[in-house]
Chains A and B, each alone.
Chain A
């Protein structure tokens, strides 16, 4: 009796398993079809999809920007507590103000040097795990550099895009980069993780030194709008700012 029960149970299980695999047989086909999906051209209001896309793409288009924004997240995670969310809030707010001034045409001298210094100094802070006594000092430092980054983005904007969607994409991308930094910074709770974060800070510092060296080279060819046009149109120029 017991053997019969066992056999019956095994048969049931096999039947269920077959039924289960049949039920989900369509899934790989659906996934393959999804992977082959072409771009949908329907319902795009002229310029709008491009606006969000180019806004989201812009902060990722230069290693100097990526280094600084990830460093903000890393430093915030190292400092912990309120700093973890305060610094990534300050940076986009002040950065957008810098972008605003860039958009209305207010010039900012030493823009490239400021951006290079942001990677250099923020990388140093992470590498040395500097902990100022008052939170206002990191906020000011991050804010100043956010201003430089925002201004650079403001003067490099591509023409003919939807301002609102561009802005939303731009801010979301910036916040995402900070979140990447914070997520990496969560390793801070382990001793090996602390070392890894400091090494990452060292790498950002090294990049900052290179950016500063590049920024101090005499300007040769393109003007800012030409640069923006080139980077917006040609994918090959994605890492051009390195």
Chain B
């Protein structure tokens, strides 16, 4: 009895709330979702960054848990550091960012596809280089956009990156059966092939 009254009360309250709607600010391009959420959403809107991070995480995972752990911490920290450096730099253009993206696709894709036995330190070095380069251009872009909330956006980016690397590296570590390893290597070859084509696009645009 009490439960029924309680449910009806909740329903009535919900209906009453509907009569007092406030303006919805969601989906506004101008206001965004707030700086941290904009940073979290960055990887969903930037396949160039997301796939590069994914390739590195898969590479680290395939090289074992030690390499995976190093990448998990090095990549977000390097991305954040690069981003902070980029926030203080002006003169952003898309060309260097595209070149960095294409090179990272190509290099990491080929490393995943060939399944070369790299030491964990080399994987950590690659994670640092990738994080600094991509983070730097992210920071420059945020500075150019002039939002003034770049640090918070970078925090959102780094947190998402941590989650992304944790999941993808775990997938790479778990890829023990032959078919799973082949699937990861094929994915790497596709990323590498996309990198070659992207390089061609960049050079095509220079003509």
Give A residues with C-beta under 8 Å from B. Answer: 42-43, 45, 85, 88-89, 92-93, 95-97, 99-105, 154, 157, 163-168, 170-172, 175
Contacts and interface: CB of A to CB of B under 8 A. Distances in A.
Contact of A165 (B47, B202, B203): B47
A70 B207 CA distance: 34
Interface of B: 27, 29, 45, 47-48, 51, 98, 101, 113, 182, 185-186, 189-190, 192-205, 207
B165 to A, nearest CB: 20
A208 to B, nearest CB: 24
Given A42-B27, A163-B98, A89 B198 contact: no
Contacts of B201: 103, 163-164, 166-167
Nearest to A104: B203
A171 B190 contact: yes
B190 A175 contact: yes
A92 B205 contact: no
Given A165-B47, A171-B194, A100 B199 contact: yes
Given A164-B47, A170-B194, 9 more contacts: A89-B185, A96-B196, A100-B200, A100-B203, A154-B197, A157-B204, A163-B205, A164-B101, A172-B190
Q: Taking chain A's interface residues, is the majority helix, strand, or loop, or is none over half, making it mixed?
A: helix
A92 B185 CA distance: 13
Contact of A100 (B98, B185, B190, B197): B197
B193 A171 contact: yes
23 contacts: A88-B186, A89-B113, A92-B189, A92-B193, A93-B189, A93-B193, A100-B199, A101-B200, A102-B200, A103-B197, A104-B203, A154-B200, A157-B204, A163-B200, A163-B201, A163-B205, A164-B48, A164-B194, A164-B198, A164-B201, A167-B198, A167-B201, A168-B51
A96 B186 contact: no
Contacts of A168: 47, 51, 194
B197 A170 contact: yes
Contacts of B186: 85, 88-89, 175
Contacts of A157: 204
Contacts of A103: 197, 200-201, 203-204
